Structure 1
């Protein structure tokens, strides 16, 4: 069953990367492009440990956001060579707590049977100007596409800004699919320089025989 779970986890990507910071803008359109040495999602490589090209676009107005994000992927043994994510949501706040409620679609052109959707509920708080703490839940009843299973992913994350340009962040999560689950965590550092973002990150899971993953990403907002 764990091998089956690992296979299902290989079929999804990182739409959340496209939503970072979107809610902060009001009535604006932004776009981004990135190159990564290894596209890793929930602790598992989506690009077979190889380079991937990524990019997205977002629109945000008041509490509402909508966007799309795409990446090259390994073919997963099927016909998929690209992942296209679409998402929308709202970002209300209550006192010092910011919320994010949305829906995400993971689409695989040429392999429609792999498509699936997740519902998202997240919250974050900044106890200090430099520290951010968050938690999120993602749920689906068709994880992995046609014939997929019910899934729930729970995550806790934290980020700390050491300066205006440099910060560290990490997350720990648990992915449950049907009656199986695994735990994953990552930690990394990010640096902003002349409009470019650089992120070096280490990823690991408790899946037997699974490889540790390292990714280095260069990104730019357009």
Structure 2
């Protein structure tokens, strides 16, 4: 976990100390990122000390936090981190955080997601990950927090189908279903391509549904660190739902998993 500590410190230094970062981030956003990094770092480093063999984590610095085709940071950078504690039985609990900035503004500055689930092999080539996910936005106006049940079926680690279902999709108090197919194509030990195509069924909430997809290339330049370049795209329905936050955009990220 020493690599995790070093990389976390690097992310904080990159985001807060260099002058160009201050030019593109408002003070509130910097404070939100500090909270995310601090909270997740405590979880990562504290948990790893007690049960290192069963704890994994991830950290990332991205040019834009894109969720289901829509920017969650108004196309500004985000610092993200997560931790997962897994039992030998396959059951696990995880926490993940990021800074956010929505449009229209609801005073949200951070997002914390909590998941409880089970993952494991169904057969030699098949794996299942089923989990209950809680989206939380501390300090926001109204009631933006909501829950979702998800299941992802993976074949040979390179092809997957996932479905999410919520009776309060995006805190709309109406039902939404999210379906995604994904593919991963390893070129060699350092390079791989990834692609996704998804449909978000939101007729009850927004009287419409939308489609989005992504194409990305990942370079594992030095394990466990990776650089990722992703092209995101959505249909016109997404642009109507999320004006200026959906559409075509490019995202660059530095990430690491431990």
Q: Do they superpose with TM above 0.5?
A: yes
Contact 2:235 2:247 in 1 (8 A): no
Q: Deviations over 1:140-168 (max 9, x none)?
A: 001122x5211000011000111111100
- Which of 122, 143, 154 does residue 94 from structure 1 map onto? 122
1:169 matched to 2:194 = yes
1:152-186: CA deviations, max 9, x gaps? 00011000111111100110000011242000000
Within the alignment, does 1:35 sit opposite 2:61 as a pair?
yes
Change (3 A) 1:74 1:182: same
| Bigger relative contact order, structure 1 or 2 (CA pairs below 8 A, ≥6 apart) | 1
Q: Confirm or deny: 8 A CA contact 1:40 1:213 kept in the other structure.
A: no
Gaps of 5+ in 1: 1-25
Say if 2:149 and 2:164, in contact at 8 Å, map to a contact too. Answer: yes
Contact 1:196–1:219, Cα closer than 8 Å, also in 2? yes
Instruction: String of CA shifts for 1:85-137, please: whole Å, max 9, x gaps.
Output: 111211133222111111111100012610001000110101xxxx7111010
d(CA) in 2 for partners of 1:33, 1:182: 29
What secondary structure does 1:180 align onto? coil
Indicate whether 1:54 and 2:80 are aligned.
Answer: yes
In structure 1, C-alpha distance between the alignment counterparts of 2:187 and 2:235, rounded to whole Å: 30
Measured after TM superposition, the shift of residue 192 of structure 1 is 1.1
**What is the distance in 2 between the residues matched to 1:169 and 1:81?**
29
Structure 2 portions without partners, runs of 5+:
1-51, 240-245
Find 1:216's aligned residue among 243, 252, 255: 252
User: Does the alignment pair 1:67 with 2:103?
Assistant: no
Cα distance per residue 1:42-63 (max 9 Å; x no partner): 1111111111111111111231
- Structure 1 residue runs of 4+, over 6 Å off? none
In terms of Rg, which structure is larger? 2
**CA distance in 2 between partners of 1:163 and 1:65 (Å):** 31
Answer 1 or 2: which has greater strand percent. 1
Distance 1:37 1:99 in 2: 31
Aligned partner of residue 92 in structure 2, secondary structure: strand
Equivalent in the alignment of 1:119 = 149
> 2:230 — aligned with what?
201
**Could you tell me which of 74, 83, 95 is aligned with 2:111?**
83
2:211 aligns to what?
Answer: 183
Asked if the contact 2:232–2:247 (Cα under 8 Å) also holds between the matched residues in 1, the reply is no
Deviation of 1:75 (Å): 3.8
